[in-house]
């Protein structure tokens, strides 16, 4: 074979190899989103939470202020009708939780934060865990993760028209806005009702699916207190109050599961279900011990609402997936920043 | 031992691992790029697939230690032989390390290591934010190193097939080449 012809063939082969390998690399770059700057990622949402003063290093990127508790979930067995998860069989299961405030500022004054939250893990003897993160608002502010990202940007914007424009484009925010404006404030985490907002699917032992939402309803009677009055109580009054209250007796919430009727909106957490839907009280959450977050057992737990036992699944609600990816990003960041939030009692040096 | 090709079992294991590992890398970067519901689907595949790859690669390693490999062509320049050997050591190390790092990372974060609804692996590390941070970083950056190494592996295999035409590709080809008989 003439020299030049084989050289040309080799050059052609090299080009073919470059094209094939380059094609695989390009497909990888596309999958990673590097060619799609418009794709909504966990990084973008985490960045959008960042206050002008910078991220709360070592802390959760939102709901950054909180306090740990441990206790039990006493299941009365009624939930077994809807879900075969072991935690709905009658019995007592260990519970680990975090009462928290919906703010990216871990030093925020308690009276300044409208949204209060409950992160919870209930552990079953078979090793499974049910994690969830709930808030005291009765409905969520927006219908989709994309709209939530736009809301974060609008609320941070220096443009005075940003929020009115957003609200005009997203009328579904009205329910949340009405609660934020007129809903009662209380002086205690123990008086708050914490709602799943997102819909999930419970699967019973026969394999039948039930779309549900749930709430932890306080045993303590809520006493409305004006935000002005709360502002006089000191910056950490909620943490102090719950610690004192638990010390003088366990604090309880009843877990109420609401089952949807066919056709109820499961994919949109701004839309409440009609009041007459069937509800089942399935058990009682009992907080027995409060611990500061810094050295507490909830600190390094990601209350990812998609950590679910067999018998509970996500629904067509798009939020749990988005929350899972964003919570994971927040977790990866804060565990790498632990030095910025040092433990008081480290395992190493005395 | 001076065979022309890898054994049929070795070839099957190679190509099954190849498909799994490429899928794994694409799933890995894909799941980090989205907040849509497919995120959960991708994560739920990523974990059991990683463990499957770990098992496959350990089987491969055992078979390889028993059955060996066909020799490289005698006329392959020494630096290329060295590169071939080193890159294969690295591939084995990364393919075994990546699933273990992922498993350790989930353990250190106290996440349940779920293979399937109701089926879990035990934690292999105690809960630790520091370990989680180190392992997360290792898992992330080594994934790109592994992908780069695989691109190099593909390029080298095609170089043997199309440019050197020295029979190295045929030693691992999924089907036998009738023209080489």
pLDDT per residue as tens digits for the range B105-143: 999 999 999 999 889 999 999 999 999 999 999 999 999
Q: Spell out which residues of chain B touch residue A40, defining contact as CB-CB under 8 Å.
A: 34-36
pLDDT per residue as tens digits for the range A89-123: 999 999 999 999 999 999 999 999 999 999 999 99
Q: How far B126 CA lies from chain A's nearest CA (Å)?
A: 12
Minimum Cα–Cα distance from A148: chain B residue: B35
Q: Do B26 and A28 touch (CB under 8 A)?
A: yes
Residues 6+ apart with CB under 8 A from A59: A65, A106, A334, A341
User: What is the rounded average pLDDT of the residues B78-102?
Assistant: 97
Phi, psi for A106 (deg, rounded to 5)? -70, -10
Q: Count other Cβ atoms within 10 Å, centred on residue B121.
A: 15
Mark A124-157 as b/e (b = at least 16 C-beta within 10 Å). beeebbbbbbbbbbebbbbbbbebbbbbbebeee
Minimum Cα–Cα distance from A41: chain B residue: B34
pLDDT surpasses 70 at A204: yes
Are A297 and A68 a contacting pair, CB within 8 Å? yes
Tell me what the pLDDT averaged over chain A comes to.
Answer: 96
Mark A223-249 as b/e (b = at least 16 C-beta within 10 Å). eebeeeebeebeeebbbebbbebbeee
> Rounded to an integer, what distance in angstroms lies between the CA atom of residue A341 and that of residue B156?
48
Please state which of the ranges A5-9, A258-262, A346-350 shows the lowest mean pLDDT.
Answer: A346-350
pLDDT surpasses 80 at A316: yes
User: What is the rounded average pLDDT of the residues A205-213?
Assistant: 98
| Residue count (chain B) | 181
- Closest by alpha carbon to B13, among B50, B45, B53, B49? B53
Q: Do B155 and A21 touch (CB under 8 A)?
A: yes
Kindly provide the ipTM of the predicted complex, given to two decimals: 0.94
pLDDT surpasses 50 at B52: yes
Q: Which residues of B touch A (CB under 8 A)?
A: 25-26, 29-40, 43, 109-112, 117-118, 120, 127, 129-130, 132-133, 136-137, 147, 151, 154-155, 158-159, 162-163
Q: Is the pTM of this model over 0.90?
A: yes
pLDDT score at A345 = 74
Tell me, what DSSP letter sits at residue A276?
T
Burial of B155: CB neighbours in 10 Å, binned 0-12, 13-18, 19+: middle
Q: How far B33 CA lies from chain A's nearest CA (Å)?
A: 5
- B8-71+85-174: which CATH topology? Fumarate Reductase Cytochrome B subunit (1.20.950)
Q: How far B65 CA lies from chain A's nearest CA (Å)?
A: 30
Q: Which of A41, A302, A332 has its CB closest to that of B33? A: A41
Task: Tell me the pLDDT band of A3, cut-offs 50, 70 and 90.
Answer: low
**Direct distance between the N- and C-terminal alpha carbons of chain B, in angstroms, rounded to an integer:** 19
pLDDT per residue as tens digits for the range A141-188: 999 999 999 999 999 999 999 999 999 999 999 999 999 999 999 999
pLDDT surpasses 80 at B38: yes
């Amino acid at each position: 074979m003439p020299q030049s012809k084989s050289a040309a063939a080799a050059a052609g082969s090299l080009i073919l190899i470059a094209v094939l390998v380059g094609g695989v690399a390009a497909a990888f770059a596309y999958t990673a989103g590097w060619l799609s700057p418009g794709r909504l990622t966990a990084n973008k949402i985490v960045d959008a939470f960042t206050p002008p003063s910078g991220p709360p290093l070592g802390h959760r990127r939102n709901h950054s202020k909180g306090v740990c508790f441990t206790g039990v979930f006493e299941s009365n067995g009624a939930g077994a009708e809807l879900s075969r998860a072991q935690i709905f069989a009658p019995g007592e299961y260990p519970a680990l939780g975090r009462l928290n405030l919906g703010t990216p500022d871990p030093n925020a004054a308690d009276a300044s934060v409208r949204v209060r939250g409950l992160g919870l893990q209930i552990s079953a003897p078979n090793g499974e865990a049910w994690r969830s993160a709930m808030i005291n608002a009765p409905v969520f502010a927006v219908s989709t993760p994309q709209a939530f990202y736009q809301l974060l940007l609008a609320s941070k914007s220096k443009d005075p028209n940003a929020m009115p424009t957003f609200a005009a484009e997203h009328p579904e925010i009205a329910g949340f806005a009405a609660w934020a404006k007129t809903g009662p404030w209380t002086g205690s985490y123990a008086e708050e009702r914490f709602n799943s907002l997102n819909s999930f699917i419970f699967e019973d032992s026969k394999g039948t699916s039930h779309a549900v939402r749930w709430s932890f309803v306080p045993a303590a009677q809520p006493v409305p207190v004006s935000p002005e009055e709360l502002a006089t109580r000191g910056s950490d009054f909620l943490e102090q109050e719950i610690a004192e209250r638990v010390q003088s007796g366990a604090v309880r919430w009843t877990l109420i599961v609401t089952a949807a009727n066919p056709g109820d909106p499961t994919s949109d957490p701004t839309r409440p279900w009609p009041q007459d839907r069937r509800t089942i009280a399935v058990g009682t959450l009992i907080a027995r011990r409060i611990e500061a977050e810094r050295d507490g057992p909830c600190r390094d737990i990601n209350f990812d609402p998609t950590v679910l036992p067999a018998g509970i699944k996500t629904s067509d609600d798009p939020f749990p997936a988005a929350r899972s990816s964003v919570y994971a990003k927040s977790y990866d960041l804060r565990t790498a920043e632990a030095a910025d939030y040092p433990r008081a009692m480290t395992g190493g040096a005395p | 031992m001076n065979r022309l090709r890898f054994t049929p079992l070795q070839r099957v294991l190679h190509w099954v691992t190849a498909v799994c590992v490429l899928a794994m890398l694409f799933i890995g970067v894909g799941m980090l790029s989205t907040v849509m519901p497919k995120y959960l689907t991708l994560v739920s595949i990523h974990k059991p697939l990683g463990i499957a790859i770990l098992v496959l690669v350990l089987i491969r390693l055992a078979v390889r230690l028993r059955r060996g490999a066909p020799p490289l062509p005698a006329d392959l320049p020494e630096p290329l032989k060295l590169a071939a050997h080193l890159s294969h050591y690295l591939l084995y190390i990364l393919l075994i390390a990546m699933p273990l790092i992922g498993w350790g990372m989930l353990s250190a974060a106290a996440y349940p290591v779920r293979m399937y609804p109701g089926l879990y692996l035990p934690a292999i590390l105690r809960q630790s934010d520091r370990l989680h941070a180190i392992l997360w970083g290792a898992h992330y950056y080594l994934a790109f190193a592994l992908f780069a190494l695989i691109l190099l592996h593909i390029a080298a295999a095609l170089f043997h097939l199309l440019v050197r035409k020295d029979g190295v590709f045929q030693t691992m080809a999924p089907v036998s080449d009738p023209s080489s008989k």
